[in-house]
Amino acid sequence: MKYTLLIYENAAGFALRNDPAKAKDYWLAWPAYTKALQEAGVMTGGAGLEPPGTATTVRIQSGKRHVQDGPYSETKEQLGGYYTIEVPNIDAALEWAARVPAAPGSYVEVRPNLVVPA
């Protein structure tokens, strides 16, 4: 089964990337987690994302295009990155979700990938 781990972080979580005192751990922990997924042979894809401030949102409404600076929603937690994994079942997917080295206040949403009907 393929699952996607969607990692949502708050502003403090995003700020860690450039925090002089904590950035070092951040940049050690995430590649280590990615490596563990790879060594386990379960990782099929993923990416870290630039902070929500860099987002551009395109909407098509009544046939008209609306382009907006910033993310679609202004929620406290924003998508910070995702992994796609292939594991036997949801239990295994949750195990990997629990190991995500995200900062306190973050959360990981686990969703089965949509299987396109044949």
Partner 1 sequence: MSGPETAAAIERAARDSYGRLVAYLAARSRDLAGAEDALADAFRAALETWPGTGVPEKPEAWLLVTARRRLIDRSRHAKVHAEAVPALQILTDRDQELAQGESPFPDNRLKLLFVCAHPAIDVAARTPLMLQTVLGLDAARIASAFLVKPATMAQRLTRAKIKIRDARIPFEIPEAGEWLERLDAVLEAIYATYSLGWNAVTGSDSRSKELAAEAIALGRVLLQLLPDEPEVKGLLALMIYCEARRDARIDARGGFVPLSEQDTGLWSKTMIHEAHHLLLGAERARSIGHFQLEAAIQSEHTRRAVLGGKTDWDEIALLYEGLIRLAPTTGALVGRAAAVAEARGPAAGWALLLQIPPEAVVNYQPYWAQTAHLLAQLGPAPRARTAYERAIGLSEDPATRDFLLRKLSALPAG
Q: Which residues bind partner 1 (CB under 8 A)?
A: 24-25, 28-29, 31-37, 39-40, 90-91, 94-95, 98-99, 101, 104
Whichever of 45 and 105 has its CB closer to partner 1, that residue is: 105
Whichever of 104 and 117 has its CB closer to partner 1, that residue is: 104
Whichever of 52 and 80 has its CB closer to partner 1, that residue is: 80
Joined together, the tokens standing for residue 52 give 């929500």
* Shortest separation between residue 64's beta carbon and partner 1, angstroms: 41
* Shortest separation between residue 18's beta carbon and partner 1, angstroms: 18
* Shortest separation between residue 72's beta carbon and partner 1, angstroms: 27
